[in-house]
């Protein structure tokens, strides 16, 4: 079946640097993409989403980029902070049904 | 505060027992979802419901059952037919108008004694 995946299972980043988390998706029919952050023992927390008719969307310290040509999604976090340490998931699909990737664990070094 | 409440946080099941996980939301969302998360993996959809008294199977529905008698409640029963029930179970909800993100509870961790 279709799958969503992240390029790297782990990412270590220096505090204050920018982070880039990548995600590849395979379902060209997907029209909605979303990033979640999950801290240990908690449920995923919504970060930012983007529709297929857009290629970039910005939030507070975060930017999501969508490249439909190569089916690639990325999350950029500016000025990474210790509180950004978590597992990050991308998901794709139509809004009522999402497919999730396996996640990237981000560790922020002091 | 508005949100999604899952209970209990930890649950233990004996072999051959059915157990029910609770999910309640006061966000007035129409749609609700149940996911299973195993270590190092993404979320897999068990069941979802877009309206009261209606629900659909997700990708891994075997060994699970749900009901949706009230808008705010979507309990999940893990039956004895589920041979590998140890996992982290997450409930989510969302409004059904346009593209809105799913919001999650803080999960129930189920273990087998």
Over the stretch A58-101, which tens digit does the pLDDT of each residue have? 999 999 999 999 999 999 999 999 999 999 999 998 757 899 98
Q: Which of B32, B44, B104 is nearest to A39 (CA)?
A: B104
User: For B33-54, how does the pLDDT look when each residue is reduced to its tens digit (9 = 90+)?
Assistant: 999 999 888 899 999 999 999 9
The number of residues making up chain B comes to 113
Q: Which of B12, B54, B107, B102 is nearest to A99 (CA)?
A: B102
Chain A residues whose CB is inside 8 A of the B50 CB are 96
* Nearest-neighbour CA in chain B from A34: distance (Å): 8
Q: Which two tokens mark B89?
A: 């179970």
Are the beta carbons of B99 and A51 separated by less than 8 Å? yes
pLDDT for A1 beyond 60: no
pLDDT for A2 beyond 50: no
pLDDT of residue A3: 45
Neighbouring-strand partners of residue A18: none
Q: Which two tokens mark B30?
A: 């129409």
* Nearest-neighbour CA in chain B from A17: distance (Å): 26
For A42, the closest chain B residue by CA position comes to: B106
Are the beta carbons of A42 and B106 separated by less than 8 Å? yes
**Phi, psi (5° rounding) for residue A82?**
-55, -35
pLDDT of residue B2: 67
pLDDT of residue B39: 87
Least confident interval from A46-50, A100-104, B56-60, B71-75: A100-104
Chain B residues contacting A via beta carbons under 8 Å: 4, 6, 31, 35, 40-45, 48, 50, 58, 90, 92, 94, 96, 98-107
For B56, the closest chain A residue by CA position comes to: A97
B interface test, pick of A32, A95, A103 with most B CB neighbours within 10 Å: A95
B37, B88 Cβ separation under 8 angstroms: yes
Proportion of chain B in helix, strand, coil states, percent, rounded to 5: 0, 50, 50
What is the average pLDDT score of chain A?
A: 91
């Amino acid at each position: 079946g279709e799958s969503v995946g992240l390029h790297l299972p782990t990412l270590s980043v220096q505090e204050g640097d920018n982070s880039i988390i990548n995600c590849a998706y395979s379902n060209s029919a997907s029209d909605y993409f979303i990033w979640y952050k999950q801290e240990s023992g908690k449920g995923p927390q919504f970060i930012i989403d983007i529709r297929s008719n857009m290629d970039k969307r910005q939030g507070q310290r975060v930017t999501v980029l969508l490249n439909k040509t190569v089916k690639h999604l990325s999350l950029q976090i500016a000025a990474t902070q210790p509180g950004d340490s978590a597992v990050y998931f991308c998901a794709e699909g139509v809004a009522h049904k999402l497919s999730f990737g396996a996640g990237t664990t981000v560790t922020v070094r002091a | 505060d508005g949100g999604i409440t899952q209970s209990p946080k930890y649950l233990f099941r004996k072999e051959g027992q059915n157990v029910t996980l609770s999910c309640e939301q006061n966000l007035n969302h129409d749609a609700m979802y149940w996911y299973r998360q195993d270590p190092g993996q993404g979320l897999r959809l068990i069941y979802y419901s877009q309206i009261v008294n209606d629900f659909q199977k997700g990708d891994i529905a075997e060994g699970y059952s749900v009901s949706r008698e009230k808008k705010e409640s979507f309990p999940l029963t893990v039956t004895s037919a589920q041979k590998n029930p140890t996992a982290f179970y997450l409930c989510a909800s969302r409004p059904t108008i346009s593209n809105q993100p799913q919001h999650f509870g803080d999960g129930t961790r189920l273990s087998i004694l």
